[in-house]
Amino acid sequence: MTKPVIWITGASAGIGAATAKKFSKEGYSVILSSRKEEDLKKVRSECEYPEDCAILPLDLADPDSMVSKVEKAIQLFGSIDIVFHNGGISQRSLAMQTKLEVDRQIMEVNFFGTIALTKAILPYFISQKSGHFAITSSLVGIIGSPYRSSYAASKHALHGYFDSLRAEHHDDHITVTIICPGFIQTNVSVNAITADGKPLNQMDDAQANGMSAEACASKIFKGIKKRKEELYIGGKEVLAIYLKRFVPGIFSKILLKAKVR
């Protein structure tokens, strides 16, 4: 019996790596992509069935490479059922102090890189009359918060794009699941770029005390299996979505007092 195939970007660490291991354990063939090939090899060795995991290095900042990457990905296992857009970069800097080239870098990777890969594989999904896009957004893809202006903007953009794509390709049986994690125990804050583009190299307290990447991956697996349109993952920080939606004035006051960094 042929295994279903999931292709995961940003698979070298954090949520991507944990999700790769979860899908491998559940009987999927997994394509692991990121810029860090050595880290991908380590993730593959830790998967339940490493023989059914393939490595395909990919740089989201190189949109012109996406068509050839899709061709190679399809050849690895003969098909692709799910693309999990998980690669990206985060930010920790004030909007006023952040250089415009840093704003552009965040958008280029998080939004345009993801869209370039989507456009490259979409004709394949249309031709086979099935396909599933899962996208790692963030709670700040809905609410926004200080020190994350362009990161939040890039995630907001993903919501708009994929909500539209879902409606446009409903008749092609293409599914879209937008995943919004809150505080998850990963190095996302350590690797976040600052106002001049340099990494923060510091772990946020909220990140360190958040949900484990493994628990997050389990929820992602269930959400994708159930073909959820949106998935909110985290602890009490998830309540911020509902505060923003129903009592935005109160939410703004809470956000000012929270001093989120």
Active site residues: 151
**32 CB-near residues (< 8 Å, 6+ apart):** 8, 11, 12, 20, 40, 43, 44, 53, 54, 55, 56
Structure tokens at 74: 């399809």
C-alpha–C-alpha distance, residues 25 and 91, integer Å? 32
CA quadruple 176, 180, 186, 192: dihedral sign: positive
Return the HEC string of 97-155: CCCHHHHHHHHHHHHHHHHHHHHHHHHHHHHHCCEEEEEECCHHHCCCCCCEHHHHHHH
CB proximity list for 188: less than 8 A, separation 6 or greater: 14, 90, 207
Taking the C-alpha atoms of residue 193 and residue 89, their distance in angstroms, rounded to an integer, is 7
Closest-CA residue to 117 (of 152, 79, 69): 69
